[in-house]
Copies of this chain bind each other. A is one copy, B any other.
Amino acid sequence: MSYLNLDVQICHSLYSATNALIRAYRPLLEPLGLTYPQYLVMLSLWQEDGVSVKHLAEHTRLDSGTLTPILKRLESKGWLQRVVSDQDERQKSIQLTAAGRRLRKKAESIPETLACQVIGNPEEALQLKALCESLYSTLSGADKP
């Protein structure tokens, strides 16, 4: 059996598991009118509001070219505003609206609902997260000095 065997590819397992998990989020996010990446942005803003696009990109690990259209959609839904910064006019401050802050209430049940569907063993879940974090930091630091 060769290394080119599909069933041996770690990335294939990772890829299909991730897609399946995001698919599982969909029915829970649909009542809020959010996609999964939009949910990530809202999670970040519920934690820390009034940040720059760059900060948001780092925290959510989304590309800025991906983030801009997401932020526009969230703005058009009335959940945030993109305000040009005073000190530095290149920057935009992303600010939740009152409606955006209220949306958090509707999201509160999501993590637990999903966990019940998905997580067999909580220890394994933590292990999976740790392994992914380790992989991510290897990859994102890979080509730096």
Task: Spell out A's residues near B (CB within 8 Å).
Answer: 2-6, 8-25, 36, 40, 43-44, 46-47, 59-61, 104, 107-108, 110-112, 117-118, 120, 124-125, 127-129, 131-136, 138-140, 142
The complex places the Cα of A132 from the Cα of B9 at a distance, in Å, of 11
A111→B129 CA distance, assembly (Å):
23
What is the count of identical protomers in the complex?
Answer: 2
Instruction: Across the interface, name the chain B residue whose C-beta is closest to A130.
Output: B13
Q: What DSSP secondary structure best describes chain A's contact surface?
A: helix
Other 12 A-B pairs with CB < 8 A, given A4-B111, A10-B132, A24-B142: A4-B43, A4-B46, A5-B43, A6-B40, A6-B43, A6-B59, A9-B111, A14-B14, A14-B18, A14-B129, A17-B132, A128-B132
Residues of B contacting A9 with CB < 8 Å?
A: 40, 43, 111
A60 lies within 8 A of B135 (CB): no
B107→A12 contact, CB < 8 A: no
With the chains together, A125 CA to B9 CA distance in Å?
A: 10
Q: In the complex, what distance in Å separates the CA atom of A24 from the CA atom of B19? A: 18
